[in-house]
Amino acid sequence: MNDPCAQHQCLVINVTSIKEGRAHDSACELNPGDHPFIVHPSYVLYRMAETLHKARIGRYIDSGYYLSRNDWQPDVFARIAAGIYTSDETILRIVRYAKENGI
């Protein structure tokens, strides 16, 4: 979600597919066309948001645990960022981090 902050941390938020008949956080729903890797109706999983050191993210990418993707278009990024503040599932520490880092 962001370039590393002064403590070399980045905000990481998962996106997952919407499953028919299962409840999901509707703070930010994504659809095919919002990003090339979104191929099914999906949502941002704010309850799993975390801050990670940039070195750990690099190791996760190198190992294939995380996949490097293109940036979000500004309008989609704005929707995702807004959901940090509107989701009932975002923990306070993540809200504070986002606010402190201009997300």
Each residue's pLDDT tens digit, 18-76: 999 999 999 999 999 999 999 999 999 999 999 999 999 999 999 999 888 899 999 99
Please give the Cα distance from 58 to 68 (Å, whole number): 10
In a domain, 4, yes or no: no
In a domain, 1, yes or no: no
Q: Which of 79, 73, 68 minimizes the C-alpha distance to 103?
A: 79
The total domain count for the chain is 1
In a domain, 67, yes or no: yes
In a domain, 3, yes or no: no
Tokens read off for 100 = 């402190």
User: Can you give the pLDDT at residue 53?
Assistant: 97
In a domain, 2, yes or no: no
In a domain, 69, yes or no: yes
Print the domain residue range for 19.
Answer: 9-100
pTM, rounded to two decimals: 0.92
In a domain, 95, yes or no: yes
C-beta of residue 12 within 8 angstroms of C-beta of residue 57: yes
Q: How many C-alpha atoms does 97 have within 13 Å on its Cβ side?
A: 23
User: Can you give the pLDDT at residue 22?
Assistant: 96
In a domain, 49, yes or no: yes
Q: Are strands 9-17 and 29-30 parallel, antiparallel or unpaired?
A: unpaired
Tokens read off for 90 = 């975002």
